Structure 1
Amino acid sequence: MVYAIMTFNMLIWGLNTVALKILVQYLSPLTMQSLRIILAGVVLFFFLLWRKEWRKPSLHEWRYLIGAILFGVMGHHSCLALGLEHTTATNASLILALLPLSTVVLSILFLKDHITGLRAVGITLGLIGVIFIVLRGSGDLSSHLAGDLWVFGAMMTQAISFIFIKKATDTMDAKQVTSLMFLCGPLGIFTISLFLHPYGLRDFTTAPGWIWVIFLASSVIATGMGHMLYNTSIHRLGPGQSAIFINLTPFFSLVGSVLFLGEQILASQIAGFFLISAGVILGSGAVEERKRPFFQRPFLRPAQASKIEKR
């Protein structure tokens, strides 16, 4: 059941990249992102109230929450929206696929995680994959370079936010952390949009009705429900297995880009996809995780591990 939920969640997130590409063509990117995310935050907030799982964060916890809000919401979603204005959904999905590798690199730098030979090879393959995507097989920089750089910034800011989220979730429920991020972060995005796109709200009055359907689905289903499903499922999987599931997201994005946007997939992008996929599996530790005895895998509680080891 957990595997089925994770696969379905990756499908939702993959198609959400396609949805965002459509939305930024009709709505002001930053205004759209701020309203879309805060709606998801409100849905999560009332869900937690209904479950009686809401509590007031301490001042110590707010230190990490602020970092998660600045990087995980304001930085990530602002860069993603601005990037999708100038690049294809295909390129965006492939660059975002570097997220597990970037998280590994940051964990090595800031959380003192160790690096092995396989991980180093995986990180290198992932970077080569991005080069294939940006050059697009022509030997010249892509005409979508500005958008690609914005999306790369979105990927990096989200990776940085994982460091703060890791610290915040040591003492707080992951669903509450997500809800607070989605409630507070959009306020900053909306403030920025007032300077960059002062008339962004007007776009909502002129957008066709079917855009509202995509907007609500992206907000409530992909962002709100998607993160809730992810947070309730990820603790049951090891880091290696979760990385493999995350790698399904760009695949679904590629399929959605062809079916719904009519985008063409180039040979260099296919090569980049396989390089990044191999890089994620090696660099995230998936191969090493599969080699470890089952009772030593970190997603098991100590009591569970000791019982299995005795057997």
Structure 2
Amino acid sequence: MLQHPFFKISFFALLTVDICYSITLVLVGLSPVSMSSVYASAIWFVTFFWLPVWLAGYLILKLRQNTNIGTIVEWLIVIVALSLGNAVTDLMINSLYQVPRMGWYVVPNALFWGTIIYFIFRFLETRQKALIETQSRKQAQLESLRYQLNPHFMFNSLNTISAYIHTNPDLADDVLHELADILRYSLDTSAHKFVPLSQELGIIKKYLNIEKARFADKLEVTIDSPTELNNVNIPPLVIQPIIENAIKHNAKQTNLKIAIKIRRIDNKLMVTVTDNGTGFIEPILTQGYGKGVGMKNLQQRIDQLEGGKIHLANVPGAQVKLEVPLC
């Protein structure tokens, strides 16, 4: 229970409040600078702030495990704990120094400090939960996007297998195995943020084998990636959608050439995919990708990477530059 972050955070927060409060009393002339003042401040911190707040926090967290006690009950627990702590503090201070007793004033004093302390920590707790939920949703969305493969790719692959299953069963069998490997890779990496570049390039080659079974000599792809980058980490399945998009929009071209160039520049991995096709239409250059599943998912995934970017250009064929921050 005491491992809960509340206890560590509250200790240092309350210590800061106590020190600032004591300094304020000195500055306005209500407390002299002396060892007795330091000792009194320490008593206030331990018996009024630290122990009562920890006691209230412990009780609230314990009760939350079994039931939903509600905000009012939690607030009352804090007020009661601080009232008791204030009464103990009053007795200790009065026994050591000749100062007036607080009497029933301990209740409004505890009410004031307890309300401030409880609702500040409740606000911070709510904010932390919201941040965790946001991160969880982003992570779930990212994993969902990683898991999705373009349905056009699946449809075309199955069509290729169907077309060759009687005329060229060996080729159909090869395509089926390559497709199975890609599906397995998609499943196996769905929970991984990054994979080695060599592994990603390996699955790209399997994907290209499927596409070459469809287009034969009409498709030519070159991959320029230094071997020293093989162990560099990259998000899984971020290059394949770019290649698929180039093939999809230039399927009727008699000689489609795609060049993949991978380089490391400073702390980023630069992936450039260029084709000799018709290039991007103007709305895509200015507004980004449309409704295509693969590229739309890729855009969302890259947006969630701090420092990740996608650049589109016509050279005159389509060119996609992918900036992936190295972890």
So what's the TM-score if we normalise by structure 1?
Answer: 0.25
So what's the TM-score if we normalise by structure 2?
Answer: 0.24
Structure scoring higher RCO (CA < 8 A, sep ≥ 6) equals 1
Q: Which has the higher helix share?
A: 1
User: Quick check: which has more Rg, 1 or 2?
Assistant: 2
